[in-house]
């Protein structure tokens, strides 16, 4: 069997059946080949295998049917409208040329049709027919039926990890991103296959390359673990959680917030952790941050503010920089680590402050001593100056009085 993918779309009214398929730009009506009979259709491009070929479930009127080539948002499509012979409902049911099997895509459409009609047994039968011959959308849906309990229940089935792995593999081989992601989850858990973390990582990386950003979250979790296969690397985990968060994946925002709280792969930053949680709750009111995490964040913020106030009291300007605690691996706040961290930090701040005070005090004493010495010198200098002046003046007055007495004596 050849892997057959979704090559056309089909829908039905009471009056017509409408098929459509895309073609490359530049295709004209002359390039299209369509053959209709009351009970069959063959349609595609000239010189190539038909896109649609097989028997119809009921008869049509070929003369009243038509096809057109349309362009819509840079997409070129061929639309074929088949007019029913009778205005009654009949299923979009084409018999494929391959060994008389039902056309895979037609079978897939029928499974959806019967599911909505609540004819679950028929829905599963047609879905499995399409999946078994390589229709990747049918294979993916069939894998979900066997992998997810709620979907399995809606289809009247039981979960089966082995069959889930089988059908996810069919879809993953056609590069369906979600199928690659789910294969990663099965390889990581060992459900339906042998547990292999490296293979899980490969599937996650391939899905991420196709912009399936939930894979970034799971890659982050892989690097948070400590296993023989994948070395623990918090910095890489932080980067993957950032990718998931930046692309709107809520669990990515949640994990990133935890990384900021614990300082794993980055510095502790309670403000950014709060921003991550706010980003989730602002978009999804049903997303509840666990109470113990909110309490952890609140205590962390209070501890940080306390340290900040203490540091400002001690130094006036210094702001504490919290030290990351990479050994914390669970969701419980480590009180001992917190207390030790706070004591160490305050000791450092107090030591720094005392040192500054000693340096300032020593410097001030030196300046005072210098000032005293200067004043003493100035006082001595001033005293000497005054003394010299008094001495000179006294000598001058004494000499003047002695000369005056001598002159008066000679006159007598």
85 and 110 fall within a common domain: no
Per-residue pLDDT of 329-380, as tens digits, reads 333 333 332 232 233 333 332 333 333 333 323 333 443 344 444 444 444 4
Is the dihedral angle over the CA atoms 95, 98, 101, 107 positive or is it negative? negative
Lowest mean pLDDT among 91-105, 183-197, 260-274, 368-382: 368-382
Element (H, E) at 276: helix 270-283
119: domain CATH number?
A: 1.25.40.10
264 and 336 fall within a common domain: yes
131 and 60 fall within a common domain: no
Say whether pLDDT at 158 is over 90.
Answer: yes
Q: How far apart are CA 99 and CA 120, in angstroms?
A: 26
pLDDT at position 74, please? 72
In degrees, rounded to 5, the angle at the alpha carbon of residue 58 between the alpha carbons of residues 55 and 62 is 75
Mean pLDDT of 19-42: 90
106 and 207 fall within a common domain: yes
Is the dihedral angle over the CA atoms 324, 329, 335, 340 positive or is it negative? negative
Q: How far apart are CA 171 and CA 157, in angstroms?
A: 20
* Residue with the larger pLDDT of the pair 349 and 227: 227
In degrees, rounded to 5, the angle at the alpha carbon of residue 346 between the alpha carbons of residues 343 and 351 is 120
N- to C-terminal Cα distance for the chain?
164
Give yes or no for a contact between 61 and 85, defined as CB atoms under 8 angstroms apart.
yes
Per-residue pLDDT of 57-68, as tens digits, reads 788 999 999 999
- Of 205, 193, 132, nearest to 167 by C-alpha is 132
pLDDT at position 375, please? 43
263 and 326 fall within a common domain: yes
Lowest mean pLDDT among 102-116, 195-209, 380-394: 380-394
Q: Token digits for 286?
A: 């049903």
Q: Token digits for 128?
A: 């499995």
Which domain range does residue 144 map to? Answer: 102-211
Q: Which residue has the tokens 């010198």?
A: 377
**What is the DSSP code string of 327-383?**
T--SSS--HHHHHHHHHHHHHHHHHHHHHHHHHHHHHHHHHHHHHHHHHHHHHHHHH
Q: Of 99, 129, 146, which one is at a domain's C-terminal end?
A: 99
Mean pLDDT of the chain: 76
22: domain CATH number?
A: 2.60.40.790
Residue 230 lies in a domain: no
Q: Token digits for 245?
A: 């968060």
2 and 94 fall within a common domain: yes
Q: Of 181, 211, 241, which one is at a domain's C-terminal end?
A: 211
pLDDT at position 383, please? 43
107 and 200 fall within a common domain: yes
Q: How far apart are CA 138 and CA 254, in angstroms?
A: 33
Judged by DSSP in three states, 252 sits in helix
Judged by DSSP in three states, 260 sits in helix
**What is the DSSP code string of 195-211?**
--HHHHHHHHHHHHHTT
Contacts (Cβ under 8 Å, ≥6 apart) of 171: 136, 137, 139, 140, 143, 178, 179
pLDDT at position 9, please? 82
Strand partners, 22: 77
Give yes or no for a contact between 293 and 256, defined as CB atoms under 8 angstroms apart.
no
pLDDT at position 233, please? 95
Say whether pLDDT at 305 is over 70.
Answer: no
- Of 47, 41, 50, 46, nearest to 18 by C-alpha is 41
Instruction: Kindly indicate the confidence band of residue 87, based on its pLDDT and cuts at 50, 70 and 90.
Output: confident
Residue 312 lies in a domain: yes
Per-residue pLDDT of 228-247, as tens digits, reads 999 999 999 999 999 999 99
Q: How far apart are CA 156 and CA 121, in angstroms?
A: 8
């Amino acid at each position: 069997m050849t892997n057959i993918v979704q090559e056309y779309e089909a829908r039905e009214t009471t009056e017509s059946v409408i098929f459509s398929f895309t073609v490359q730009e530049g295709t004209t009506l002359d390039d299209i080949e369509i053959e209709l009979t009351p009970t069959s259709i063959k349609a595609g491009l000239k010189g190539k295998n038909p896109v649609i070929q097989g028997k119809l479930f009921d008869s049509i009127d070929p003369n009243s049917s038509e096809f057109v080539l349309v362009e819509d948002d840079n997409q070129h499509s061929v639309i074929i409208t088949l007019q029913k012979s009778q205005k009654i409902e009949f299923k979009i049911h084409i018999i494929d040329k391959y060994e008389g099997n039902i056309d895979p895509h037609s079978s897939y459409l029928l499974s959806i049709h019967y599911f909505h009609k609540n004819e679950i047994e028929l829905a599963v039968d047609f879905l499995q027919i399409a999946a078994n011959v390589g229709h990747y959308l049918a294979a993916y849906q069939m894998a979900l039926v066997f992998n997810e309990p709620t979907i399995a229940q809606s289809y009247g089935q039981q979960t089966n990890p082995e069959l889930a792995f089988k059908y996810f593999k069919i879809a993953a081989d056609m590069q369906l991103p979600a199928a690659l992601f789910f294969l990663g989850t099965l390889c990581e858990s060992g459900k339906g296959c042998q547990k292999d973390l490296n293979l899980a990582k490969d599937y996650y990386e391939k899905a991420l390359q196709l912009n399936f950003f939930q894979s970034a979250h799971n890659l982050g979790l892989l690097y948070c673990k400590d296993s023989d296969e994948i070395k623990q690397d918090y910095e890489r985990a932080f980067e993957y959680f950032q990718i998931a968060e930046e692309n709107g994946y809520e669990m990515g925002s949640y994990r990133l917030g935890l990384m900021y709280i614990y300082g794993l792969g980055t510095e502790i930053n309670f403000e950014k952790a709060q921003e991550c949680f706010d980003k989730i709750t602002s978009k999804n009111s049903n997303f509840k941050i666990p109470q113990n995490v909110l309490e952890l964040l609140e205590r962390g913020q209070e501890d940080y503010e306390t340290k900040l106030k203490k540091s400002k009291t001690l130094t006036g300007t210094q702001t504490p920089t919290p030290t990351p605690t990479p050994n914390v691996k669970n969701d419980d706040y480590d009180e001992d680590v917190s207390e030790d961290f706070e004591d160490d930090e305050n000791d450092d701040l107090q030591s720094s402050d005392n040192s500054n005070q000693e340096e300032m005090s020593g410097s001030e004493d030196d300046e005072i001593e210098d000032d005293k010495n200067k004043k003493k010198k100035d006082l001595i200098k001033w005293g000497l100056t005054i003394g010299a002046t008094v001495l000179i003046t006294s000598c001058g007055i004494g000499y003047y009085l002695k000369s005056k007495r001598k002159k008066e004596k000679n006159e007598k």
